[in-house]
Chains A and B, each alone.
Chain A
Amino acid sequence: MTVVLFFAQAREAAGTRRTEIGGDTVAQVLAAADATFGPEFAAIRAACTIVVDDEIVPRAEHDHHTAGAELAILPPVSGGAGHETDPGVIRVAVLTISDRATAGEYEDLTGPAVEAVVAEHLRSELVARALVADEHDAIVAALVEWCDGGAVDLVLTNGGTGLAPRDVTPEATRSVLDAEAPGLGELMRAAGLAHTPFAALSRQVAGRRGRTIVVNLPGSVKGATESLEAVVSVLGHACATAGSGAS
């Protein structure tokens, strides 16, 4: 059994501060709590951060993460949402685009490297990750789902930005953007050129769809890491501006 703690509006909706619930994973315990306390609780709970044994468990990991000894259900705290320009906690999704990783020929190392840079530099929560082949339609489908779902502020893709015939990420990305932000691509290429002239062959695109920012990163760990580090300082403001609805 897992000790489940409730706070603020989640506590009021559940009618208790503490209970015990059985379940192997975070997702199972939360589903059981939703079933026990009803739809009003479930709606509040969906916006909560989950901490298991002192560690924040991102949404993307709820299905796999063990429920632990103590699971806390924590509504959004008072900071962040009060100012339009405060980026708050940025909800990040990472899309790895690779034929070979999709076929299982090698392990995706770039996606985790991108997540590590995000965790280090952005006040953020990883809410989704996916792996697709270098296929235009698959890339478009993933981008549209995340951008239009209202639960992702920043999509970082990696892979498919070179000049090989299979490299279609920039075209797929451009086809879904409402507004392009060419300066981000230029900044990333400029940073890469400091290390290698081959950076000139990278075609990354960035921009906004709806209220979500999309940024292409190269497929190599080094290229993706350096590119992201080149632009990470402005991504918080980009997300705040895109998400504010301000013109």
Chain B
Amino acid sequence: MSAGEHDALVPIAIGALEATRLDTAALVDSVRRDDCGGIVVFEGTVRSPNHGHDVLALEYEAWQDRAPRQLELFARECAEQFGLGAALAVHRVGRVEVGEPAVVIVTVSMHRDVAFVAASALIDRVKAEGWIWKKELRADGEIWVDGC
């Protein structure tokens, strides 16, 4: 019997912080696999205006000793929970310009429905639990932001 849909996938889990512009296509390629037919990609990008303020850029700060390990853990637990072939969570630190990606989530599954749900769950967890903060750089000042 060939490797079929009833065999559990051994998942790939990737979590990382990056200090330079995220290359979404390259991140997707890093978890692409032949035995999975569905890939869902989520990019969180810097938005302006935000709540009525013109935003110049966001400055991200992370707990450098913990956040990469957290992201890898969230990806691994997401992959295990949803039976994925791969899960990836990569977040920027430093200054991110308007329109640029601040975070990329990729979920890779045998089928698309699971990949969509898993991607949503993974970004929610990254935002809720990851030790990552953002400061909004506005035309009229700077402010640390609790909300999304």
Give A residues with C-beta under 8 Å from B: 5, 7-9, 11, 54, 72, 74-83, 88-89, 123
Q: Which residues of A contact B129 (CB under 8 A)?
A: 77, 79
The reply to whether B135 and A78 contact each other, CB–CB distance below 8 Å, is no
The reply to whether B133 and A78 contact each other, CB–CB distance below 8 Å, is yes
Q: Does B25 contact A (CB under 8 A)?
A: no
Q: Which residues of B contact A77 (CB under 8 A)?
A: 127-133, 146
The reply to whether A80 and B63 contact each other, CB–CB distance below 8 Å, is no
The reply to whether B148 and A8 contact each other, CB–CB distance below 8 Å, is no
Given known A-B contacts A72-B63, A79-B148, A8 and B133 have beta carbons under 8 A apart: yes
Q: Does B145 contact A (CB under 8 A)?
A: yes
The reply to whether B148 and A78 contact each other, CB–CB distance below 8 Å, is yes
Given known A-B contacts A8-B135, A123-B128, A74 and B63 have beta carbons under 8 A apart: yes
Q: Which 10 A-B pairs have the closest CB atoms?
A: A79-B127, A82-B148, A82-B147, A8-B133, A79-B128, A81-B147, A9-B144, A81-B146, A76-B146, A80-B128
Q: Does B134 contact A (CB under 8 A)?
A: yes
- From A5, A7, A78, A88, B145 is in contact (CB under 8 Å) with A78
1/0 per residue B116-148: CB within 8 Å of A?
000000001011111111110000000011111
Q: Which residues of A contact B126 (CB under 8 A)?
A: 79
The reply to whether A75 and B144 contact each other, CB–CB distance below 8 Å, is yes
Assembly CA distance A78 to B62 (angstroms): 11
The reply to whether B131 and A78 contact each other, CB–CB distance below 8 Å, is no
Q: Does B61 contact A (CB under 8 A)?
A: yes
Q: How far is the CB of A198 from chain B (nearest CB, A)?
A: 37
